[in-house]
Every structure is written in C-alpha cells, then in structure tokens.
Amino acid sequence: MVLEKKHDVPLAKIYLLPNLFTAGNLFFGFLCLIRCIQARYSEEAMTSFALYNQAVWCIFGSLMCDGLDGRLARLGGKESLFGKEFDSVADVISFGLAPAMIVFFLILSPENNFPFFRKIGWLIGFIYLLCGAVRLARFNVITHPLLPKEQKLPPHAASFFIGLPIPAAASVIASLVLVINRFDLKAWALLLPPLMLLIAWLMISNVLYPSFKHIDWTTETKLRAFVGIIGVLVIIFMFEELSCAILSLTYVFYGLIRHLRRRKVEE
C-alpha cells in the first residue's frame, strides 16, 4: 500500500467493466479449446467441421473482448497493474494456446496424413506458444510504470508495438483456418506450420508494428480516409473470411517489410 501511494500507481485495484471483458476474452479462449477437443473426437465429418469453425470464431470473440477491455480502461482512466497482468494471462490462453491447438488438431497431429509433422508437430505448436508467452512477458516488463526512466521506451514507441502483438498473430492463424475450411483448401494447410514459426519469431523480434492506441472518440480524419475506412468495413462485411485473412497478413508483412527497408536504408 505504501508503494502504491508513493508512485501513484493503482497496483491492485480491480476495475469491474474492463476486467469483465478480460474475463470474456478468457472465456472464449477456454471455449475454443473445448470446441477443438470436441471436433477432434467427433465421429461425423460435418460435425467436426462445424466445431472447428466455432473454435475459430471463439478466437475472434476473444479478439473483440481484448480490444474493448483496454479501450474502456484507458477511456475511463481505470488502468491498473492487475488489469494488465490479468489481460496477459487471458491472452496466453486465447491467443497462444488456443490457436496452437487448432493448428495441431487440424494439421500437426500424428494421426493426420502429414508424415513430416508426426514427430515435430507438437514442437511447432509449443514454439508458437512459448514465443507468445515471452512476448507478453516482455511487453509487461518494458511498460511497467515502476521501471526506471532510463530503461523506459522512447517516445515514438507509444504508437508502435515492439514485436508482433499476440492478438494479431492469433488473428492470422484463425482467419487462415477459416478460409481453409470454408473453401476446402486442405492442400494449402501445409503452409500454416512454417507461417506459425515466422509469426513466432516476429512476436519476439524488434520489428515495430502500429498500435492504433492513439485512435479514440476524439480522433480526427480527412474525408478521403473516412470514405476509405467505410469502404474497408463494407468489404470485410461482404467477404468475411477472405477479408480478415488479407487484413491480418497485410498487417504482419507490413511491419516486416517496413523493418527490412529501414535496415537497408541505415546500411
């Protein structure tokens, strides 16, 4: 309690509304795991297909809750260290373990017809989960309010994430699984394991990704940008699976290509 007063940091406060959405994030992640297990042991192909799709949509439900809890906390000035840690715990389940389990059951499981992955499939899933957990731990450390000023992030970092955010990583996997199931592209499913390894590396890298945290109810924009955003939302509504996959992949490779171009200029 003395530490809280000294540094003016709400260390242990539990604000109801933001943490309810964090609990929702955790709930959808847990439900995703249940659907994956049910789909794996379902005897009917159609039922298994529907359950895997439900598992994927649970990840999108977690993404929605994860986006709202932080926004509500910042909007009401109710950010706390408890909320940050609780959010990270939920993210490990919903965006780390859940996507890894979906890909494992669909592609990497020894029972599937991909001999190459029979012995190392579990390792690929674990590497993704490990990098996601490390990424969250690093984020909590470098954004800790009690960190000495000389070790804090530079001012421009407020608009960027260092490393690919784990919700974005989960969004890529979920949207691609949805596309593979929707259009029966099983041959393309073999691209998911190497993509998972690339995403795992990006999560623990120093590649900068836009955070969009500065966008709120008071953010102004130009007319062209406003019309463009409306157009993108319409496209997302019309082509749900494809648009989500394209947007997620665009975000991932935008940061990577931008990073490589900056390094090339510096050299």
Q: Which of 10-14, 38-42, 50-54, 94-98 has the highest mean pLDDT?
A: 94-98
Burial of 6 from C-beta contacts in 10 A (0-12 / 13-18 / 19+): exposed
Lookup: tokens for 84: 């940050």
What integer pLDDT is reported at residue 237 of this predicted model?
75
What integer pLDDT is reported at residue 3 of this predicted model?
42
Least confident of 18-27, 176-185, 194-203: 176-185
What mean pLDDT is predicted for residues 241-260? 90
What integer pLDDT is reported at residue 190 of this predicted model?
82
What integer pLDDT is reported at residue 4 of this predicted model?
43
CA neighbor of 164 nearest in space, from 249, 232, 38? 249
36: pLDDT strictly greater than 70? yes
In angstroms, the CA 61 to CA 186 distance is 25
Each residue's pLDDT tens digit, 100-117 = 999 988 877 766 667 777
What integer pLDDT is reported at residue 175 of this predicted model?
93
Least confident of 2-11, 59-68, 252-261: 2-11
5: pLDDT strictly greater than 60? no
What integer pLDDT is reported at residue 158 of this predicted model?
63
For every residue of 142-154, DSSP letters joined together read: HT-TTS-GGGSPP
Backbone angles phi, psi at 162, to 5 degrees: -90, 110
In angstroms, the CA 44 to CA 209 distance is 42
Greater confidence (20 vs 119) lies with: 20
Lookup: tokens for 208: 């900068």
Each residue's pLDDT tens digit, 202-247 = 999 999 998 876 666 566 677 777 787 787 778 777 777 788 898 8
The class (CATH top level) of 2-266 is mainly alpha
What integer pLDDT is reported at residue 6 of this predicted model?
43
Q: Which of 1-5, 90-94, 138-142 has the highest mean pLDDT?
A: 90-94
In angstroms, the CA 129 to CA 112 distance is 21
Compute the residue count for the chain: 267
Each residue's pLDDT tens digit, 51-85 = 999 999 999 999 999 988 877 777 766 677 888 88
- Mean pLDDT over all residues of the chain? 83
